[in-house]
Structure 1
Amino acid sequence: MAESWKLVLPCTRDEAERIEVEGEALAALEPPPVLMTSERVEDDPDSWQLEAFFDAKPDRRTVAAIRALVPSAADTDADPERIEEQDWVTLSQQGLEPVHAGRFYVHTSTNRGEVPAGAVPFLIEAGLAFGTGQHDTTTGCLLTLDALKRGGANFRNIIDVGTGTGLLAFAAMHLWALARATASDIDPRAIDVVRENAAANGVPLGSGPGRLALAAAAGLDHKLLIDRAPYDLIVANILAGPLIELAPMLATALSPGGTLVLAGLLEKQREQVERAYRRHGLRVASRIAGEWPALRLVKRIRYGAGRTTRPGPRGTGATPDFGSW
């Protein structure tokens, strides 16, 4: 029987919420560990812990990669311990509660529970990629998309940038079933996860209306993503730094009057993110407040020669800066 090992490190709530399951720190670990975070002391943001489970005893390099996820544990002893053999992926999901956000109900295979009447369920397994619905940023995006639909918004060309599990793309496709939809992520493994989740949730893949096209790309740096622009709805649930860096690219890819939904930033980073997008012609239309806010921005409509257009089937059009993605 294969061995099972566990590494436990103290951390803060902020560090726990910043852990990226598919981030660079874990990308080289094969097989990847199963990570679980939890409170050690209720309602104390400085008393959390990170548990990492392994199929074999982790070497020093692996321990260092896990320790790097929680800088506050730098001076803590990191001694892996051998434990009883278990299915840690399944175990990690048993502690997760389903998320009911707007009309959407997100669950794993082990916590389906009773789907509320009228809710749209999505099966998204935990631990595969960021964006399970458990995190406030994902929930904020689901609530924002739901509010847009309830307010009568209609979109025809949608992209989910940094898609993770594909959940937000799936939700947008449910709300605007005739739209062309695209999902991208910088990590090719996340795209594999999206394919699996699409199959599990009956989401059709492809390039036409009502189907989801996929691309692995940094930002929008991919021919498919450029060719499908401009988008009238862009969703980007990533981190504040990349959001600021991507501001020129996302603003250019958004059609005049189009909507941009941003999340992944902390409240203390909000003004800096908003300022980056105001510089590129967007205004904040609404926000969901909280420690992890979700922002809804709208691109101002410009008239005259300065506006950005795309080539049509019978014309060339002007496309300033599109080639710089």
Structure 2
Amino acid sequence: MPTFTALTHLPGREAAEALCEACEDLTPEPVGTGIFEIEDGSERWEVGAYFTEAPDEIALAVLAVAFGAQPFVISELPEVDWVAHVKRELTPVRAGRFYVHGSHDADDIPEGVEALWIEAAMAFGTGHHNTTKGCLQALDRLATEGFTPSRVADIGCGTAVLAMGAARLWNVPVLASDIDPVAVDTASANVIANGLDGRVISIEAAGFDHPTLEQAAPYDLVLANILKQPLIDLAGDMARHVARDGRIILSGILTTQADEVTEAYRAAGFAAGLRDDLGDWSVLVMTRS
């Protein structure tokens, strides 16, 4: 089945949301729409609509003019099994003591590593992105320094690679939450595949908003590899759910955004610790004062 994309951008979240909503009334109707902030300091938002038949280019042009957006760029995507393609392309990742691999490399694991089996799937976190790799390296450093948490949470867990890494390091139960039900299903499957069923518990939740997460607090360690604005929005909740002297590992942050996130967490009661920049991305390790 062919897939068509129609993408544009414009200033302001409210205008982007209104345009996104207007796209839903098009004929043919899109199978999905969405917006996200272009995090380059321009305060512009991208609007996307996805179709299984060619969209009405004239109607899209009219919408773009009506909402002050750039003209829609329409593309037809080739029919590709992207998961199979990614599996072929992904090579194992070494991050500290961790070795993240797919099933195609399961017979070639080096000795003395903590192997984590992650298949390409519809969730973030195969270890190849610098944010995931940086968080795994931060976990490795904490363990090397003798840090020993007993209560751990991974907020926005994606594939649960970070939650599983923590469970392997400290042999403690880890709660792994994500707002996306597909990610939660993917995380649960990965947990079973890695022999961690019962030690990593996958939960569908936004932030800490779940009875299980609330009851398990305060946490000695919280991982959150998401995005700048959700991290800033989470700072107050993080302070309420992290124990005194507890650690947090934050990523999903561009290097240009790291200072802003650091200041938000300082204001919430965290002391800045290690900052590790990998390419364009930063990983922050902070301690609740």
Tell me the TM-score normalised to structure 2 length. 0.75
Whether 1:120 aligns to 2:114 is: yes
Match of 1:284 in 2: 272
Match of 1:80 in 2: 76
Match of 1:223 in 2: 211
Match of 1:170 in 2: 164
The letter for the 2-side match of 1:114 is D
The letter for the 1-side match of 2:74 is A
Contact 2:235 2:268 in 1 (8 A): yes
Q: CA deviation at 1:30?
A: 7.1
Q: 1-side partners of 2:262 and 2:287: how far apart?
A: 11
The correspondence for 1:98, drawn from 74, 86, 92, is 92
Q: CA deviation at 1:228?
A: 0.5
| Greater share of residues in helix | 2
Q: 2-side partners of 1:241 and 1:299: how far apart?
A: 20
Q: Which consecutive unaligned segments of at least 5 residues does structure 2 have?
A: 8-29, 33-49, 61-69
Question: In the superposition, relative to structure 1, how do residues 216 and 59 fare at CA in structure 2: closer, same or farther (>3 Å)?
Answer: farther
Whether 1:185 aligns to 2:178 is: yes
Q: CA deviation at 1:7?
A: 6.3
Contact 1:98 1:112 in 2 (8 A): no
Q: CA deviation at 1:201?
A: 0.9
Q: CA deviation at 1:57?
A: 4.7
Match of 1:208 in 2: none
Q: 1-side partners of 2:238 and 2:223: how far apart?
A: 10
The letter for the 2-side match of 1:294 is V
Contact 1:285 1:296 in 2 (8 A): yes
1:220-299 superposed matches below 5 A: 220-290=208-278, 291-299=280-288
**SS of residue paired to 2:115:** strand
**SS of residue paired to 2:99:** strand
The correspondence for 1:141, drawn from 132, 135, 141, is 135
Name the % identity.
38
Match of 2:26 in 1: none
Q: Which consecutive unaligned segments of at least 5 residues does structure 1 have?
A: 11-28, 32-53, 65-73, 206-210, 301-325
Q: CA deviation at 1:215?
A: 1.6
Q: 2-side partners of 1:8 and 1:60: how far apart?
A: 9
Q: CA deviation at 1:199?
A: 1.2
Q: CA deviation at 1:146?
A: 0.3
Q: 1-side partners of 2:192 and 2:88: how far apart?
A: 22
Match of 2:144 in 1: 150
Question: In the superposition, relative to structure 1, how do residues 7 and 228 fare at CA in structure 2: closer, same or farther (>3 Å)?
Answer: same
Match of 2:14 in 1: none
Q: 1-side partners of 2:161 and 2:101: how far apart?
A: 11
What do the CA deviations read for 1:52-73 (whole angstroms, capped 9, x no partner)? xx9x955539xx9xxxxxxxxx
Number of residue pairs the alignment of both structures matches = 240
The letter for the 1-side match of 2:178 is D
Contact 1:259 1:297 in 2 (8 A): yes
Match of 1:309 in 2: none
After alignment, is 116-125 or 194-203 more displaced?
116-125
What do the CA deviations read for 1:108-153 (whole angstroms, capped 9, x no partner)? 2235573222112111111320111111000000000000101111
Q: 2-side partners of 1:166 and 1:230: how far apart?
A: 20
**SS of residue paired to 1:298:** strand
The letter for the 1-side match of 2:229 is G
Question: In the superposition, relative to structure 1, how do residues 77 and 230 fare at CA in structure 2: closer, same or farther (>3 Å)?
Answer: closer
Q: CA deviation at 1:102?
A: 0.5
Give RMSD over aligned pairs.
Answer: 2.9
Contact 1:262 1:296 in 2 (8 A): yes
Deviation >6 Å, runs of 4+: 6-10
The letter for the 2-side match of 1:119 is V
Contact 1:98 1:113 in 2 (8 A): no
Question: In the superposition, relative to structure 1, how do residues 233 and 79 fare at CA in structure 2: closer, same or farther (>3 Å)?
Answer: closer
The correspondence for 1:60, drawn from 55, 79, 87, is 55
Q: CA deviation at 1:212?
A: 2.0
Q: CA deviation at 1:75?
A: 5.3
Q: 1-side partners of 2:54 and 2:214: how far apart?
A: 42
The letter for the 2-side match of 1:213 is I
Whether 1:202 aligns to 2:195 is: yes
Tell me the TM-score normalised to structure 1 length. 0.67
